[in-house]
A and B are shown apart, each in its own frame.
Chain A
Amino acid sequence: MRHIALFIAKAAGTISRILRRGGGTSLPGMILMKIRPTMLREMAQDLEDGIIVISATNGKTTTARMVANAIQESETSYVANTSGANLASGIATALLAKKPEDRLGIFEVDEAVLPALIPELQPSVIVLMNLFRDQLDRYGELESTIQKWKDMIQSLPETTKLIVNADDPALGFLGSQHSNVEFFGIEQSQYGRVTLPHAADSTHCQKCDSALQFQQTTIGHLGHWSCQNCGEQRPKPTFTGTNINLNELNGSEFTVLSESNSIDLKVPLAGLHNVYNALAAFSICSAKGIKSSNIQKGLSTLSAAFGRNEIIHYAGTEMMLLLAKNPAGANQNLQTLLLTEEKIDLVISLNDRTADGKDISWIWDVDYEMVFDRIATLTISGDRAYDLALRFYYSDFPTSSMNIVPSVEGLLNHLKDSCESLQRVVILPTYTAMLDLRSQLNKVGATHSFWEEQ
């Protein structure tokens, strides 16, 4: 029965790719789970070195890639859902492709399904990086996800290691409730702020509900938090990111400090959020006994996950894709753009399909104004381009300077037509807008299909 189940599911993946209906990154798994629901648990048990699960609102895919790269350098064979399909079906599909020599699993998992998947996967390491408001129509409130994670942590066996971002007030508190936990966080930094940004979510103490104090915030509500009322505060990190130097849009350097060690890391992806991602990846690799040299090498060969800091060449122009699907992520991308003095040819593409979040009101909580004086040209695209245009219009961005091209074909034509005058093109798409864009670019030969990436 087991072999037949595997065959049917694998065939579906092949057929899906042949029919070009997407990479077959979820369909085989979906079929498998219908035919034999226990398969996921059975396949997961087959990995001798265990499973690493990474979950967060922002940063899962990039962090998983960083870890995978480091593990590849250490010449351990692993299986991962690098395509970013992070629901049960996506993980089942990835496990279906497992080779006999694969010893380790690295899976990014959607924050809403994480509690249900933990008993199936029984990971040895769970990494919790951040929780931001995201897709309110899909996830409900942030609080309800926090509560579900709280219940999940309470029922974890002691043998499961948690690696948690100390800078997230909710996660820092939840993590401390588990005995087998290590924390990572960023030290006082020149890139920190002393005030909470508008889009900050987790601003109240999980223990006593009082408003938290922040000595420093880095991204959204991440930072050095404490509660004057009950005394809860940011746990001391096992791994601390210090001496951070953000190198405009080229990447960054920083040092990881632990009790016994000080390791310098170079990250080829721009922005403070990628410092967090690299710090998380370092913590995971350390827990799995991967040598620092392999982590450093892995980072140096890292190519961006599709849509995240990815560089694409089209019409003789270099374009950087920065996925943006919630206020925290979008604001962080904009903050990263501020690191450069260059003027930006900014393209924003807003879709409202299921995977993007059907409710687009979140764009009103993004601080686009911060880059207004850096914008050389503004191009607005996607299903809900006009909503974006209104967003800019009501902040007094002149309508005469907006190029509104809702369709992806229209967008590419517009970019081609204006390629002479384009300097630094940065595209901020939502999830399906990014898929559409890459699909269209693939048709004209500008990039590769996302499922072909290693």
Chain B
Amino acid sequence: MNIYGDRGNIAVLQKRLERRGYSSSVTPIGAGEDFNPSIFDLCYLGGGQDRDQMIVAYDLQKKSAALRSGAEDGMVFLWVCGGIQLAGEGYTDSDGRRIPGVGILDLDTSAGNRRLIGDLVLNAELDGETSTLVGYENHAGRTFLGPDATPLGSVLKGYGNNGADQTEGAVQERVIGTYMHGPILPKNPWLADKLLTWAIEHNTGEIPALSSLDNSLENLAQQVAISRAGMKR
């Protein structure tokens, strides 16, 4: 599940920690391997092809108790695309087959007729702060949120979760699911730092005051991406 530039998200998280004097380690956990939530602060899951997603879904079922326990404990989750689908109750594919999710986000997804593809711009809100996020979406799934999940943001450009209700993504405690590729973190440093703040708090028990980094490149990239969103020929 890493066909979509996902290692960019990991690189951003690690570098932004390093530049503030924190060290970090990344442990890939594959199918069949155990997941011990007590030793991790952040869990990332990227997007994949439908076929690979089926395999992952069944493996995640074996880890679902551990994942839910981690979520309850305040571990940070960023699950993208196929990840947001698997974080929910489940996914119903175009043949009507039901693929189970792990239930760390109150949402459900079914495959739509056509893929929702294009630039994605959101007005996101977390912890009372707002920010514009820009990226790209590419998904057949239509996701609808239940009462316990809040959207990550409202869609300014693009389809979002289902192309109908203008919501994108889902947040519950420290669990974030989203359809935003890009990858999502390089151009959206506010979100990266929010995740890191939560992860450090989970690790140390205290909310850190993260020093600000020079985001001029990120801001330029974000501005260009926003202005080009939906304008490409």
Task: List chain B residues, Cβ under 8 A from A198.
Answer: 7
CB-based contact A143/B49 at 8 Å: yes
Question: Are A390 and B187 in touch, CB under 8 angstroms?
Answer: yes
A190 at the interface (CB under 8 A from B): no
Proximity string of chain B (198-233) to chain A, C-beta cutoff 8 Å, 1 when within and 0 when not: 000000000000000000011011001100100011
One of A143, A363, A391, A396 near B51 (C-beta < 8 A) = A143
B5 and A364 contacting across the interface, CB-CB below 8 Å: yes
B3 at the A interface (CB under 8 A): yes
Are B5 and A386 within 8 A (Cβ)?
no
Is the C-beta of A253 less than 8 angstroms from some C-beta in chain B? no
Chain B neighbourhood of A383, CB < 8 A = 224, 228
Pair B232/A394 contact, Cβ less than 8 Å: no
- B138 CB contacts on chain A under 8 angstroms: 136-137, 359
Q: Check: B183 CB closer than 8 A to any chain A CB.
A: yes
Q: Are A136 and B3 in contact (CB under 8 A)?
A: yes
- A136 in contact with B4 given A209-B51, A354-B232 (CB within 8 Å): yes
Q: A358-B136, A399-B217 are in contact. List 9 more A-B contacts (CB 8 A).
A: A136-B4, A136-B138, A140-B115, A201-B3, A361-B5, A364-B6, A364-B183, A365-B5, A395-B11
A391 and B117 CA atoms in complex are apart in Å by 23
Chain A residue with Cβ nearest B31: A211
Report the separation of the CA atoms of residues A137 and B182 in the bound assembly, to the nearest whole angstrom: 12
Q: Is A110 an interface residue (CB 8 A)?
A: no
28 A-B pairs within 8 Å (CB atoms) are namely A136-B4, A136-B138, A137-B117, A143-B50, A201-B3, A204-B51, A352-B228, A354-B232, A358-B118, A359-B136, A359-B138, A361-B8, A361-B182, A365-B5, A365-B7, A383-B224, A384-B228, A386-B220, A387-B186, A387-B224, A389-B217, A390-B218, A391-B186, A393-B217, A394-B11, A394-B15, A394-B186, A396-B15
Closest 10 CB pairs of A and B: A364-B5, A364-B8, A361-B5, A386-B221, A359-B136, A386-B220, A394-B11, A141-B49, A390-B186, A358-B232
A33 proximal to B (CB < 8 A): no
- Summed over the interface, the residue pairs from A and B with CB atoms below 8 Å come to a total of 88
1/0 contact string of B93-119 vs chain A (CB within 8 Å): 000000000000000000000010111
Q: How large is the interface on A (under 10, 10 to 19, 20 to 34, 35 or more residues)?
A: 35 or more
Residues of A contacting B115 in the complex (Cβ-Cβ under 8 angstroms): 140
Asked if A142 is an interface residue, CB under 8 A from chain B, the answer is: yes
Q: Is there an interface contact between A391 and B118, defined as CB atoms closer than 8 Å?
A: no
Chain B residues numbered 143-199 whose CB sits less than 8 Å from any CB in chain A: 181-183, 186-187
Say if the beta carbon of B12 comes within 8 Å of chain A.
yes
Q: Interface code B2-41, partner A: CB below 8 Å = 1, 0 otherwise?
A: 0111111001100100000000000000000000000000
